[in-house]
Chains A and B, each alone.
Chain A
Amino acid sequence: MAHDTVLNVPKRTVREVPHTVSPGLWALAWKRLKSDHVGMVSLAIVAVFVAMMIASAAGLVARDWAKEAGVNYAPPSFIGADVEAGAPASPAEPAAQPAPAGEAAPAVEYKSEIVDPLADALAEIRGGKKTAGADAAPAAGDAGKSVDPLADVMADIRKDATGASPAAAEARASTLPLGGDKWGRDVLKKTIKGSETSIFVGLAAAAVATLLGTLFGAVAGYYGKWVDDCFNWFYSVFNSIPYLLLILAVAAVLQQKGTLTIILILGLTGWTGTFRLIRGEYLKHKAREYVQAADAIGASNARRMYVHIFPNVSHVVLVQLSIYTVGFIKAEVILSFLGFGVPVDVVSWGSMLNEAQNELILGKWWQLAAAGTAMAILVTAFSLFTDALRDALDPKLKGLAGA
């Protein structure tokens, strides 16, 4: 009011002031992160995985993951065609192919394969080399039907499930880059397709859990008093239920299996850690002078909570998001492994490990190795990246704070 007349400094327009925008705290954190070699390598690995996931989701790679590209249990190329189990199969196929001419050929082959996937194992258990005969016999003739009356039905089911037409299974390789599964599907492609589910579930569930935890934590920590008491009561009740039991309960309530369900399960059960953390941060920050100063200039509660305090705790949220992603990628794998995860027609690292459980008895280790290694690399890289991120965002933790 009265001051308007006094503030008679010559007017200037904003554009006249030459300036460079100072690096904000995010820019400084990025600079610190860039100088962290381990962090950057981890980030690059994570980026490769995420790129892989996006490419797979967009259908650029591994679109035909369900195609039976190789013989069943095709060994990885670097090992070479299996001499023991593979050798008998090789004569069986040439034998099968020329026999029925024309369009009948694939069907026969199909049946022959379906007949008894455990034949190899069985034969092996019984005594090794006889396998050749045991396997070749049903394959060569039409005896398949007598052995398995449901072969036709199975073929239909599998056709629906995998979308692979028998016609597509024509030329089947004896080896695949990372081996094949029991249907002869390429494990490499399965791993890539599986990353789509696993990483997406991990990221999305982490986002849901962090969002819920941050929201609840902010409200509880900022308002305190009875609001805080209510949230804490809810948190305590929630936390008193054993974690796995809670997941099973939610899974049972939601009834249907699917990627969305598993995201919801993990998100709804995982918010508690973030809640505690963010609540603590808000309790700490609301007593800070800059928040009091915001109160003094008349900023509303919502403004203080989200405009003033939130940017100051956002690094905690980011690190939490990163930690959760790692945890939830693993959680998805565990859930799928236990059979509570994604449905059978969707491939994920967890379902691959689940399949591998049975294959391992047969000595077919490559599916386990591929899914396990992919997960281990991603999780390790993500964890290291999380550490680097935390150091970059909060350099005091590293003991390098300036005076």
Chain B
Amino acid sequence: MSMRERARSAGAQITQRRNHDQTVGARAPNTRGEGYPMSTETLVSVHDLRISFRLDRDHTFEAVKGISFDIPRNATVALVGESGSGKSVTALSVLGLLPPENAIVDPASRIMFGGRNIVDLSMRDLRNLRGAEISMIFQEPMTSLNPVFTVGYQLVEVLRLHMGKTPAQARKRAIELLDEVGIPDPEYKVNAYPSQLSGGQQQRVMIAMAIACAPKLLIADEPTTALDVTIQKQILDLIAALQRRHQMSVLFITHDLAVVGEIADHVVVMRNGEIREQGPAKGVFETPQDAYTQALLQCRPRLDRRPVRLPVIEDFMDGGAHAMNLTERPRGISSGDPIVLDVKGLGKDFYSREGLFGRRRFEAVKDVSFRLPKGKTLGLVGESGSGKTTVGLTLMRLHEASAGEAIFEGRDILSMSQKQFMPYKRRIQIIFQNPYASLNPRFTVGHILTEPMHIHGIGASAQERTELAFELLQKVDLPEVSFYKYPHEFSGGQRQRIAIARCLTMKPDILICDESVSALDVSVQAQVLNLLQDLQDEFQLSYIFISHDLAVVKYIADEIMVMSEGRIVEIANSDEIYRHPREAYTQRLLASIPKGWRGGAKVESDPTLTA
């Protein structure tokens, strides 16, 4: 089932909404009460939920292994876990959205909602439930909205089908809803197509659709993962405010504990289909009992500390037998550092066709200058569209620069011909964001590692290259058998190590990490960051570390360059920029970083919600 289909069945199924109007009417007066005490009444009770998936005729995989938890009325429950923990599967089962052809829900499982067991409900009853009483928002707003209809049409559709409103009423309500979720100019935007809205606005429209029928439970499946940090903050605030205003319960699914710290009342930590720990947010954040929860809280780089090595899950899981090196690592550059790469006035224009013969120029990067010292890391941060990735790709000449020069070993690598650039090519390498996409699925790891050596004539014979590949696999902590395997047999973190090993085969001087750890789980992220750090210490590599995750950049970078709309906003030593940001843009960026648990201080007011 595609994301869009799921969104539709969750939000826009035909239901006999009139049956429920009474309950909504009865609930309405309560929603005004301020400081309404959190109810201890249970809305959803999940008991001994077991879900397995058919792999083939004889094998099944148990994704959820008998978990139990409750969602109280008018509360936010966060379901936290890394990929493969079964958190999304659990959420889908609450909506009855698991694909029936290969998902098996154990008949003994119970998901009690309003006195009924969702596991036993017929398709028809489930449809009546979805959208009206339980609704869901997904990770990717762009794929969940239908691109050929206006957002107004899609909202009106939900309202007419579920609430039985007339077209005029529905349209009026749609505009109200858009206003409520903080879309500016709702009368105008109601006629906009999804592609005309930004990612954050699209997610707001999704939320408007989800709350259109005043559901009792809102399931949010990683609703902010695909968004920029500043937008993430706004969406989190919006969900929290709507939850309080409509007295809904929210089941918030995320891989990042820091995100839920600000909004969750209860936290459920899952791993490998089991619940490791659950309880009120205060307890989970302040005195985590389970080693895994402790690890999750510790693995993520923090803004206030910078240990020499980040702790990883294993440090906790075996009872702390590993000596954790938590001494501070000094960062920063000094004027005496030898410079590897000197970039002056870099610019990159893109052209889009306009009219019959016209072209429109779009300046993705404007007048960017920086110097990269040997053995140091330059962090490149900014929101999406700020041109940070373009800088990286232009330096690698995967895009041709429109202006400026980059001096490497006394020569401008941007102006030389492709042929002249060839020997320099291997000296500057890149690690891409998505390790699932950057390795050719039809090549064995051995092939992937030996190919660049073959192209650049590194190693005299195939035998020598193979041996070098084995050494590099050891270096990135992968077993030697990996040499004979295909990328699909590895996890995300392992694949990223393979990608790193591939770069190392060419013995580069500069490594560009383009969001290289953004797609990884928190614990794996720590491992890869540690690996990058070790390699830098060992080989004196210089990194250009591009990321939207400011905490990660803070940990790894010596110097940070903040970019916005293709220009440099601010460039300074990393500690300096976090302690004393000079520009307003930098300050706003820093304020958006999820702070984790803040002593239960839930967001009080949201400026976007003042109607």
Contacts and interface: CB of A to CB of B under 8 A. Distances in A.
B445 to A, nearest CB: 9
Given A297-B426, A297-B451, A298-B455, A292 B470 contact: no
Interface stretch (A9-17, A129-137, A181-189, A332-340): A9-17
Contact of A6 (B396, B506, B538): B538
Contact of B474 (A9, A13, A35): A9
Interface string A310-324: 011000000000000
How many of chain B's residues touch chain A, expressed as a range? 35 or more
Interface string B223-246: 000000000000000000000000
A212 to B, nearest CB: 23
Contact of B440 (A6, A308, A399, A400): A308
Given A1-B507, A22-B486, A312 B442 contact: yes
A17 B463 CA distance: 14
A215 B422 CA distance: 27
A24 B442 contact: yes
A235 to B, nearest CB: 21
A14 B484 contact: no
Contact of A399 (B84, B99, B471, B507): B99
A153 interface: no
B269 to A, nearest CB: 20
A296 B429 contact: yes
A17 B480 contact: yes
Contact of A17 (B456, B481, B489): B481
Nearest to B426: A298
Contacts of B443: 311
A290 B398 CA distance: 13
A6 B455 CA distance: 23
A289 B438 contact: yes
Contacts of B425: 296-298
Nearest to B468: A7
A14 B425 CA distance: 29
Contact of B441 (A7, A9, A25): A25
A237 interface: no
A22 B489 contact: yes
B452 interface: yes
Contacts of B17: none
Interface in B446-488: 451-452, 455-456, 463, 466-468, 470-472, 474-475, 480-481, 483-486, 488
Contacts of B471: 7, 9
Nearest to A23: B486
B499 A3 contact: no
A296 B430 contact: yes
Interface string B525-560: 000000000000011100000000000000000000
B484 A22 contact: yes
Interface string B49-78: 000000111000000000000000000000
B502 interface: yes
A311 B422 CA distance: 25
A299 interface: yes
Contacts of A14: 463, 466-467, 470
Interface of A (DSSP majority class): loop
B539 A3 contact: yes
Contact of A295 (B398, B456, B489): B398
Interface string A300-311: 000100001001
A290 to B, nearest CB: 5
A171 interface: no
Interface centre among A6, A25, A290, A311 (most CB of B within 10 A): A290
B452 A12 contact: no
Contacts of A289: 432-434, 437-438
Nearest to A6: B538
Given A22-B486, A399-B99, A299 B440 contact: no
Contacts of B56: 35
A290 B84 CA distance: 25
A11 B468 CA distance: 9
A144 to B, nearest CB: 70
A288 B398 contact: no
Nearest to A31: B56
B42 interface: no
B472 to A, nearest CB: 8
A20 interface: yes
B483 A298 contact: no
B258 to A, nearest CB: 24
A9 B432 contact: no
A9 B484 contact: no
Given A12-B470, A22-B485, A399-B99, A290 B426 contact: no
A298 B452 contact: yes
5 contacts: A293-B440, A299-B451, A399-B101, A400-B101, A403-B84
Given A296-B430, A308-B440, 16 more contacts: A2-B507, A3-B504, A3-B507, A7-B471, A9-B474, A19-B481, A19-B484, A22-B484, A24-B486, A289-B438, A293-B439, A297-B502, A311-B440, A311-B443, A400-B101, A402-B55
